[in-house]
Amino acid sequence: MSRSTSTRGSSLALQLGQILGIALVVLAIVAWMRLADADPPRPRMAATVQIESTEPIAAPAGSRAAAPTSRVDQGWAARVAGATGIPVRAVLAYASADLTIDAEAPTCGLGWNTIAAIGAVESVHGTIGGSHLDAEGRPAPAIRGPALDGRGFAAIADSDDGAWDGDTAWDRAVGPMQFIPATWATWGADGDGDGTSDPNQIDDAALATARYLCAAGEVTDGGSWRAAVFSYNHLESYVDDVAAFANSYAAAGLPG
């Protein structure tokens, strides 16, 4: 993902394959702007379709381990993973980011399923191109987007000396949520509590996505939800794809 003067383009994603039968339309767009998003714990709007989901259930305080993902009810995560096909490790990351952002920005209205939907479109939850999430939440092999050299994508010169993307000439989108190094420099987060922020690590990337989307404040209706997701990647077709996933994930997350 990336930002420029006032737009985010954080998902200049990968031209790799298809996402659950939906062809990825990935465009590199630069953006340094504000956002907002909406979705579950409470009824929320995805695109123009109302979605409803439950907040990830926190484990009892006495049973929580050091890792932030331990706050998420493991049984709930397993049920969601089984119903959606999302890897359990990714479900834990998305739900943990939801719990964190709900505490930080309770009026935002962001739900785990919107974070998950972006993860689906960006990298099939860290599994695109034959990758898989390891126990620490890192895709193996690492996920890198194409060089943003202006040929079919925006031209974004190297901003990190290749530290994150391995490219010292041009920036590339990095990791399961496809952050561009220039954007990560501003929005990088430590979602796994290890003291570092790494766009390759799904807990960190999911929390950065949540904060990015909630930066503009409350987003609890269809119009503001679409505006938030659009700021992540400036394509209406992208927003439509994210909405479809968010709605299906919301249904899978409902109790009963």
Provide the pLDDT for residue 218.
Answer: 80
- Condensed to tens digits (0 to 9), the pLDDT of residues 51-108 reads 344 466 555 444 334 478 989 999 999 999 999 999 999 999 999 999 999 999 999 9
Nearest to 160 by CA among 184, 181, 188: 181
pLDDT (0 to 100) of residue 59: 55
Cα–Cα dist 208/184, whole Å: 8
pLDDT digits (tens, 9 = 90+) for 39-60: 333 223 333 333 344 466 555 4
- Domain boundaries in the chain? 18-253
Peptide bond preceding 87 in cis form (omega within 30 of 0): no
How many CB atoms lie under 10 A from the CB of residue 21? 5
- CA 105 to chain centroid, in Å, comes to 17
Distance CA 221, CA 128 (A): 31
Q: How far apart are CA 235 and CA 230, in angstroms?
A: 6
Cβ contacts of 242 within 8 Å, gap of 6 or more: 46, 114, 117, 118, 120, 121, 229, 232
**pLDDT beneath 50, residues of the chain:** 2-54, 60-66, 256
- Model-level pTM? 0.77
